[in-house]
Chain A
């Protein structure tokens, strides 16, 4: 915990438009104006290995190729599904990327509105639209369980160092939990255990910036 707080004190909160005093190259959360570098979002700045980044505290999920995410079906077409992944736009899941042999117009039989999947983002184009795939690694449809939504910027907090936080919740509640990079979290298990795990995750999301979070969650799970 002490290591974590020392890391935190080095971080600096910046607001949109703030001038960044640096010789590094601009990374994300940055814009250039008249040769100078400014922050474009509310977040913490980090100046590492020649690049300056601002990690936004708020904001929607921005899809990156290779991210494992949880998606919820929002719309069905004759050969595609439109999936909600918490980004600016719904993602497309083409039938050829589903791994199922889908007859034309029969998509809803495999994935109906409200059904969830564990999928991977395999294409993002310049116009901001993106496609996901069910054919990679352990991607699958999620049966039973429930989905909790957290701020995507808090996902590393929910996971913890080397997964410490999430294994704490898993072990104490005896639930199966899968965390999407988009901040959608799937929990499966006994009804009461799900509720407890959900409460723990929501607490982390709410108090992500506070210190001593692990202790607080331990206490909450003991009840």
Chain B
């Protein structure tokens, strides 16, 4: 958020990539792309490219992480070395372990974990190309993959960010806006109930702006939810 730039991020209400402040980038979702995973999804969101694969429910390893009365969700978020401009050193780092943790927590809210005692549901998200908003994109992809794996859950969770750029609250920040903007607010909700399962804030927002950003991100999530449903309906031949 602290970056400085001469770029004009918003000019006459139009952003650098030609979007209006309340517009999402183009999203393409395909369910069931991988043969070896129980469920999978490929997602393109602007320039982000992400694969998600789900395995399980299966016996939880390591054993001390097992819960006698319910399953746990073990999510893993990784970025490919070639996903960013400067080669990313492969392996776990602080950022990816944080994202893995919050995504696991979010999914344990929707997956019916009490149906599978002692089990683990593994969710692997691989960022192939990153262009800001990958944690939201990865969660969205993982939701579709979980549904594709036939895992019972209360709802799918779409995730979408909003933020502040040039003192304007905008939806779905792109790379430049993320680097040089004033705030970034990733949000994931349960569409049927409106419950929030993930909320982070990086940067500064006034209480009014925060309300505005929440409303914008919520509507973004609902738009995204429709696209997730379309992806699953297409893959199972529900729409002809």
Contacts and interface: CB of A to CB of B under 8 A. Distances in A.
A209 B58 contact: no
Contacts, number: 86
A88 B233 CA distance: 26
Contact of B152 (A13, A16, A19, A57): A16
Interface residues of B, number: 32
Given A33-B154, A38-B154, A90-B59, A16 B147 contact: yes
Interface in B209-240: 229, 232-233, 236-238
Interface in A50-75: 56-60
A15 B153 CA distance: 10
A28 to B, nearest CB: 9
Given A58-B38, A88-B59, A42 B155 contact: no
Given A17-B155, A42-B236, A58 B150 contact: yes
A42 B155 CA distance: 11
Given A17-B192, A31-B112, A41 B236 contact: no
Contacts of A209: 236-237
Contacts of B68: 127
19 contacts: A16-B153, A16-B156, A17-B153, A17-B154, A41-B151, A56-B150, A57-B150, A59-B149, A60-B56, A88-B56, A88-B58, A88-B59, A88-B116, A89-B58, A89-B59, A89-B118, A89-B119, A90-B59, A210-B237
Interface of B: 38-39, 56-59, 68, 112, 116-119, 147-156, 190-193, 229, 232-233, 236-238
Given A15-B156, A31-B154, A41-B152, 5 more contacts: A17-B191, A41-B153, A58-B150, A90-B59, A209-B236
Interface of A: 13, 15-17, 19, 29, 31, 33, 38, 40-43, 56-60, 88-90, 126-128, 153, 209-210
